[in-house]
């Protein structure tokens, strides 16, 4: 693999930044300074550093975004659409690396969004066959009583699908809580609450399978997944 491709594949550099870093003499391979971006290295065994910092190439990239309200969960939009995509919150090299949002959150839904270039894993996470659980923190307009609670958890029949049984944990006021579903139908949680006589006024995804939203991550910010988080996702 070319050295500049290795560097850009680490997520630390764009391709042009990688070239500049190499030519500056700050990149070493196995302890030796290399100044040619076209030098080929073994990505599996080479020890590459930028100054004193190790640079590690990985086949796939994984990032967590704390999605804010007002952004579309897509890589691009129709030219006539004035909506902003979540990719505009991320470094430009994410798009160049082929990274994309795994699944979608409505434009007014906030919280956990996985950004990756691992297509096979994204398919596994989103496939209806695998029933990957998604948990949301919600607030609604009308308190959820016992009958409404039972209807939500037992499944609701719509014209186009019937929601599967789910878990709803209510706060004492009945106006807020957490709901965990194993499907990802369009506007599903909002439609479920509407069907029982309430409306969602706030919705935040806090868990996606084994991945939990980092509470220290500000809205609109992102970070790379930890090795433990990546291992948990790949163990599904």
Kindly report the pTM of this predicted structure.
Answer: 0.83
Closest CA to 151 of 137, 138, 165, 139: 165
Catalytic-residue membership of 106: yes
| Contacts with 126 (C-beta within 8 Å, 6 or more apart), sequence order | 102, 103, 132, 184
The predicted model gives 88-106 an average pLDDT of 90
pLDDT digits (tens, 9 = 90+) for 1-47: 999 989 988 877 877 889 999 999 999 999 999 999 999 999 889 99
Per DSSP (E only), the strands in the chain are 27-29, 32-33, 48-50, 53-55, 62-67, 71-72, 84-85, 100-101, 110-116, 134-140, 167-170, 176-181, 200-208, 211-212, 222-224
The label of the residue with tokens 């839904």 reads 109
What would the mean pLDDT of 198-214 be, rounded to a whole number? Answer: 98
State the pLDDT confidence band at 208, using cuts at 50, 70 and 90: very high
- Tally DSSP H helices, then E strands, for the chain: 7, 15
Length reported for the chain: 236
Mean pLDDT for the chain? 92
| Domains within the chain, CATH numbers bracketed | 3-55 (3.10.290.10), 62-128+211-234 (3.30.70.580), 133-208 (3.30.70.1560)
From 4, 76, 106, 214, the catalytic residue: 106
């Amino acid at each position: 693999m070319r050295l500049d491709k290795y560097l850009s594949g680490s997520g630390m550099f764009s391709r042009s930044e990688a070239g500049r870093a190499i030519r500056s003499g700050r990149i070493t391979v196995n302890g030796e300074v290399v100044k040619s971006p076209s030098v080929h290295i073994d990505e599996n065994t080479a020890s590459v550093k930028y100054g004193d910092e190790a640079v590690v190439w990985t086949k796939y990239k994984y990032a967590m975004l704390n999605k804010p309200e007002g952004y579309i969960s897509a890589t691009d939009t129709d030219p006539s659409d004035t909506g902003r995509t979540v990719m505009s919150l991320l470094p430009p090299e994410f798009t160049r690396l082929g990274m994309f949002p795994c699944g979608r959150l409505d434009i007014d839904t906030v919280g956990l969004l996985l950004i990756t270039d691992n297509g096979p894993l994204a398919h596994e996470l989103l496939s209806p066959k695998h029933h990957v659980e998604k948990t949301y923190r919600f607030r609604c307009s009308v308190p959820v009583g016992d009958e409404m609670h039972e209807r939500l958890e037992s499944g609701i029949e719509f014209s186009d699908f019937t929601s599967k049984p789910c878990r709803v944990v209510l706060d004492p006021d009945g106006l807020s809580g957490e709901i965990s579903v194993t499907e990802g139908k369009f506007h599903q949680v909002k439609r479920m609450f509407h069907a029982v006589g309430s409306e969602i006024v706030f919705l935040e995804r806090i868990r996606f399978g084994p991945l939990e939203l980092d509470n220290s991550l500000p809205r609109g910010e992102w970070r790379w997944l930890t090795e433990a988080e990546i291992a948990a996702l790949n163990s599904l």
